């Protein structure tokens, strides 16, 4: 009795399966390293920011600084009491 040309022994099949498993594990490890790399994280955040910018219109802020009303106050307009009456103001509070 002779064996056919495509016969494989169980030991050969076990060795091939172990080699395939090791190759799959190595590929999964490399993929995980790639997903957790700093470059992948930066690319992910860049994509999120670009998508957010595309979804929302830009915001334009007025560059005018706020002004201090005291610069334009006439006597009595400002809520601050005059220095001469400071003691009266503090006593009444």
The mean of the pLDDT values for the chain is 78
pLDDT per residue as tens digits for the range 12-30: 999 999 999 999 999 999 9
As a whole number, mean pLDDT of residues 59-69 equals 67
**Domain residue ranges of the chain, discontinuous segments joined by +:** 9-57
H helix or E strand, kind and range, residue 20: helix 10-35
Look at residues 38, 37, 15, 19 and name the one whose alpha carbon lies nearest to residue 27. Answer: 19
Share of the chain above pLDDT 70, in %: 63
Which of 24 and 2 is assigned the larger pLDDT? 24
Which residue has better confidence, 47 or 92? 47
């Amino acid at each position: 009795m002779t064996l056919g040309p495509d016969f494989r022994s169980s030991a050969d099949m076990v060795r091939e399966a172990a080699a395939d498993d090791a190759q799959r594990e190595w590929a999964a490890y490399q993929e995980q390293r790639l997903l957790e790399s700093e470059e992948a994280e930066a690319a992910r955040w860049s994509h999120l920011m670009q998508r957010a910018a595309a979804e929302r219109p830009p915001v334009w802020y007025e560059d005018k600084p706020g002004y201090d009303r005291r610069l334009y106050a006439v006597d009595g307009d400002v809520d601050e009491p005059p220095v001469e009456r400071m003691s009266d103001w503090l006593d009444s509070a």
